[in-house]
Amino acid sequence: MAIDDNRLEDWVELFDEACDYKVVTRENVEQNLPNVLMWCDNKNMLRDRVESYRQVNLYNLHYDRHVLGPLRFVKQEGSAWTFEVSYSLFQTELEGASRLFSVGRYRVEARVEDGVGRLKSVSVVADTGLVPSLLATPI
């Protein structure tokens, strides 16, 4: 939701300070290859990425729209929850044309403390290995 509304700073706040966010492709995962498209291994790296998007990087002007589901619960260990959820991500250009930008699956580990959930780890495994145009705003 935060990404779709272009509230990237709010999206960063969903994460724990000690967190991991990674975008990989299914082609690499299936070959046991570690290559990443994007990798932040703490919250400061996420902050840096968002700040760079806002002030430094230039990319295709677009709206994002995530469609999620179904969600599959994997495990709970104390306050840590792990689940997987499929996504479709559509991009819409300023002139209104939409396209399917990426489809794949999140594996998410979240920690719930005092009724507040924080993301510990988000691993995006994109089936769409052939990135259309470029990948700027996170999936």
Partner 1 sequence: MNAEIRWPRNDYSRVPFRLHHDEEIYALEMERIFRGPAWSYLCLEAEIPSPGDFRTTWVGDTPVVVSRAKDGTIHAFVNRCSHRGAMIVRELRGNAERHVCLYHRWCYSGSGELTGLPFRKGLKGEGGMPEDFDMKTVSPRKMKVDNCAGMLFGTFQPDQAEPLESYLGEFGTGIIRRFLNRPLRILGYSRQLIAGNWKLYAENLRDTYHASLLHEFFVTYGVDRATQKGGVKMDERHRHNMNHAFAATDTQEDAKAAYADTAARLDRMQLRDRKLLSFANEFPDGMNLAAPTFFPNGLLIQINNSLATRQIRPKGVGAHEVFQTVFGYADDDAAMTRHRLMSTNLVGPAGFVSMEDGEAIEVVQKATRSAAGAAAIVEMGGRGPLRDLAHRVTETPIRGFWSYWAELMGVEPAGAIR
Q: Is 43 helix (H, G, I), strand (E, B) or coil?
A: helix
Supply the minimum distance, in Å, between the C-beta of residue 9 and partner 1.
14
Q: For strand 15-25 and strand 116-126, is the pairing parallel, antiparallel, or unpaired?
A: parallel
79 binds partner 1 (CB under 8 A): no
Out of 2, 5, 9, 35, the residue judged to bind partner 1 by CB under 8 A: 35
131 binds partner 1 (CB under 8 A): yes
Around 25, how many Cα atoms within 13 Å sit in the side-chain half-sphere?
A: 10
76 binds partner 1 (CB under 8 A): no
Q: For strand 116-126 and strand 80-93, is the pairing parallel, antiparallel, or unpaired?
A: unpaired
Nearer to partner 1, 97 or 116 (CB): 97
Out of 1, 2, 7, 52, the residue judged to bind partner 1 by CB under 8 A: 52
The separation between the first and the last C-alpha atoms of the chain, rounded to the nearest angstrom, is: 11
77 binds partner 1 (CB under 8 A): no
98 binds partner 1 (CB under 8 A): no
> Would you give the DSSP letter of residue 50?
H
